[in-house]
Amino acid sequence: MATNKKKRVLTGSRATGMPHLGNYFGAYKPAIELQDHYELFLFLADFHALNEHYHPEENRLNSYRMLASFLACGLDPSKSLLYAQSAVPEVNELAWILSCQVPFGVMSRAHSFKDAQAKGLDINMGVFNYPILMAADILLFDANLVPVGQDQKQHLEMTRDMAQRFNHRFGETLVIPEPMISDTVAVVPGTDGEKMSKSKNNTVSLFADDKEWKKQVLSIVTDAKGLAEPKNPDTCNVVKIFSLLGTPDEIRAMREKYLSGGYGYGHAKMELLEKISATFGPMREQYNHWMGRQEDLRNLLQEGSRKARGLATEKLNRIQDRIGLIGRPY
Ligand code: ADP
Ligand code: TRP
């Protein structure tokens, strides 16, 4: 039977620093663009942020920054649900249930865990269990689509496996989510050419003052070719970032200037800076407006979290009933 029920899009972001262009193009923009045609759930993955070294005051500030960013990027709380992972305890309850189904061997092959191990970091159990908590975020809310950057692909595969395993054992209960990873913005490069990431000090912030934006753009690493020499646009980080923002004509023009020479990296960086300012300047006003109203941000988050909890409770009741737990109402 055909149904008109809107599909649900869900994504979360860790409040571990200032949101950056990688977050915007990889996750926020594709998610928020869908809010008129899908049910959008956007949340602070604030429990996921706790497995890193963190400072309570920074955590608080970063949470406000993320909320203000979501709103400045166009999230409309009257259409979409904005909430905090930490305010929905059912997420952790489902994470426990899932953790009792996932083999240890599967978990120990997670990239996030193996990378931490390879770097010789102190690994807490939060790092190890990270993909299970993420699966619970997604499966508790019956998400159909999950917009994320390429780095989250394996987590989505693990989520799908967990859902399939559960459904196979206990009957159709969990929706199998689809990842939504765009080819063009799957990995936005940072100023050093590596993946842009809050933890790497290589970001171009989504919102910063002009001086900070300039500093970040000027720090983009290029080769040492002089002004007159022709340059390779395909390997240049400035062009890669500009290509996310420019129109096809503007991108083509920059590439031609690279190839013909007489155009320096300094020129390209200034063009990029102008583009950043033109694209994100007006949104920055919204961002600053919300950062001046933290009480309102908190109220919005709490209201959204209450609604999210209502849905989560119902779903968890059904899940617990499926596995033969009799304590919750059904
Ligand atoms: P970070 O790695 O900077 O801490 P988060 O964990 O908050 O970022 O990620 C939030 C979302 O942004 C995720 O969907 C992630 O895949 C996406 N994302 C982060 N960095 C990039 C990037 N450089 N390119 C594309 N998407 C990214
Ligand atoms: N793990 C994601 C990241 O590091 C953030 C996240 C947590 C998430 N739970 C999620 C993303 C659920 C999408 C869906 O970027």
Q: 69 CB under 6 A from ligand 1? A: no
Mutate to test the pocket of ligand 2, among 137, 162, 185 (most ligand atoms within 8 A of CB): 137
pLDDT of residue 156 exceeding 90, the answer is: yes
Looking at the structure, tell me whether residues 78 and 227 fall in a common domain. no
Per-residue pLDDT, averaged over 95-116, amounts to 95
Is 214 buried (19+), middle (13-18) or exposed (0-12) by CB count in 10 A?
middle
In the chain, how many H helices and how many E strands?
A: 13, 5
Is 313 buried (19+), middle (13-18) or exposed (0-12) by CB count in 10 A?
middle
- Between the CA of 2 and the centroid of ligand 2 the distance, in Å, is 31
106-138 residues labelled b (16+ CB within 10 A) or e (exposed): ebeebebbeebeeeeeeeeeebbbbbbbbbbbb
pLDDT of residue 3 exceeding 80, the answer is: no
pLDDT of residue 104 exceeding 90, the answer is: yes
Q: Is 193 contained in some domain?
A: no
Looking at the structure, tell me whether residues 285 and 298 fall in a common domain. no
Dist CA 302 CA 91 (whole Å): 16
Dist CA 244 CA 206 (whole Å): 13
- Between the CA of 141 and the centroid of ligand 2 the distance, in Å, is 14
Chain mean pLDDT for the chain? 95
**182-206 pLDDT, tens digit each:** 888 889 999 999 999 988 899 999 9
Q: Is 31 contained in some domain?
A: yes
Looking at the structure, tell me whether residues 265 and 307 fall in a common domain. no
Looking at the structure, tell me whether residues 64 and 177 fall in a common domain. yes
Looking at residue 267, what is its pLDDT? 96
Looking at the structure, tell me whether residues 299 and 284 fall in a common domain. no
Ligand 2 binding residues, C-beta < 6 A: 10-14, 45, 48, 134, 137-138, 146, 148, 152, 155
- Between the CA of 23 and the centroid of ligand 1 the distance, in Å, is 5
Looking at the structure, tell me whether residues 36 and 103 fall in a common domain. yes
Looking at the structure, tell me whether residues 70 and 122 fall in a common domain. yes
Q: 19 CB under 6 A from ligand 1? A: no
Looking at the structure, tell me whether residues 283 and 302 fall in a common domain. no
From the CA of 14, give the closest atom in ligand 2. 5
Looking at residue 1, what is its pLDDT? 47
Which residues pair with residue 82 across a beta bridge? 42
Looking at residue 54, what is its pLDDT? 84
Q: Is 3 contained in some domain?
A: no
Looking at residue 185, what is its pLDDT? 83
Mutate to test the pocket of ligand 1, among 11, 44, 151 (most ligand atoms within 8 A of CB): 151
Looking at residue 121, what is its pLDDT? 86
Dist CA 85 CA 63 (whole Å): 12
Question: What is the domain count for the chain?
Answer: 2
- 76 is in which domain, residue-wise? 8-186+294-323
Per-residue pLDDT, averaged over 228-234, amounts to 96
Return the amino acid letter for 36.
Answer: D
Q: 12 CB under 6 A from ligand 1? A: no
Looking at the structure, tell me whether residues 314 and 281 fall in a common domain. no
**CATH classification of the domain holding 97:** 3.40.50.620
**257-297 pLDDT, tens digit each:** 999 999 999 999 999 999 999 999 999 999 999 999 999 99
Angle at 276 between CA 272 and CA 280, to 5 degrees: 175
Handedness of CA 163, 8, 207, 182 (dihedral sign): positive
Looking at the structure, tell me whether residues 161 and 211 fall in a common domain. no
Q: Where are the beta strands (DSSP E) in the chain?
A: 8-13, 39-44, 81-84, 145-147, 178-180
